[in-house]
Structure 1
Amino acid sequence: MIEELRSCDSIVVFDDLVGAEDLEGGNLGRPLSEQAAEVRAIAQSKPEWAGVTLDPDIERCGLRFPEIGSHWATAKGLPRLSGEFRLPMFYDALFAVPPSTAGHGSAAGAVDPAQLREIDGHPQSGSGLLAAVRVQPHTSPLEIWVSIPETGPRKTDLDYCGYLDALLITKGAYGWQFLFTDVSLADDPFHHVVSNMEVMLGLFPELFPEHDYAPLAERLEARR
């Protein structure tokens, strides 16, 4: 995905990273199964982790880089579209401090913020959008939530592996996560999401023809 953005003449990459600074001693070369085993051992000593199950599929799909991210926009002369993603390693994210959603709206029946762990965010653009996994007992796979300041956290119908699959297609175009929620994108807070998705779905099938954008177009239409 990083290379797709870098090599596309229609995309300007402002900043990207693959956190592979410590190629020999860091997490990059360690099997995810080994990391998962360590996390399970640590979790056994934490009362708040009682009953929490880690989806074994994450050992197949998860990132082996300590961190990966990109901040980009379409080139001059094209319809304006921007995007960003910044992903920590999943198992590192699980033990991070819950993200601050201070100033974010509160949806009815919203999740307890203490259960959230950030798995994606926008540190360069400062949009306030973040995605988080919910550390919740007796739930497998763990839920993925998305939050913007205008709405607060909303549950998606993605698991972590599904999140990564969708990110590969959307490249982090702003607001893509809401295509996987039950919100009405006709509501005021989502007008900018709709416009961004319309541009993405108009451009990306030509820029990245190896990906299928029809399912995302169907999701957008279903939420108008």
Structure 2
Amino acid sequence: MLRYTIIFCAAVSALASIPFTASGKTMSEIPMHAAAEKDDVAAIEKLLAEGVKIDARDRTGATALLVATHGNRLAAAKTLIEAGADVNAKDKIEDSPYLYAGARGHLEILKMTLSHGADLRSTNRYGGTALIPASERGHVETVRTLIAAGVNVDHVNKLGWTALLEAIILSDGGERHQEIVELLIGAKANINLPDRDGVTPLQHARSRSFREIEKLLVAAGAR
């Protein structure tokens, strides 16, 4: 029995020492994904020269570029994007490098995807554009960048919420979200577009005692 216990412990120890990528695959399984996770440009370039498919996917559906985006690996992402990686390739939960960079506020990667064919109309598993989670999470510069790129500021997701509604309903009403509300107002977002229950952004702000956001909305003519 002791012998089997020792063998089992050794196996567990060996497995624990194997590094994993952001998408859950062991690094040894997919070299391109491993290189992206480690931000190893030389390895990426070598693999590309050997003819490795740049948009090959792991079991989660993630490409190497999405793995690089998960970890905000700027050098790897730049190399892959400039080599032609698909910035819109979605994994099994409908994340793409573009959508994930927007949602997580990975601004430099987001800008690279925007300059290499990002689909501004693409949506995540919640039916939202990149602007909606960026607004919810308080990524001010990301919101500014997406607005400038031309994302639809009034897109409604599966929950019945716009970026403006999420910036109020799912926020703490603090300075970052106040600035985002101001940016959305400046971008001509429909400030009176209600949720599915007919509750407007102004009503949500008042119910949460978000006084500064309430002032911004009232000044813009919200009802």
Fold shared, TM-score > 0.5 on shorter chain: no
More strand by share: 1
TM-score band w.r.t. shorter chain: 0.3 to 0.5
Q: Which has the higher contact order (CA 8 A, sep 6+)?
A: 1
More helix by share: 2
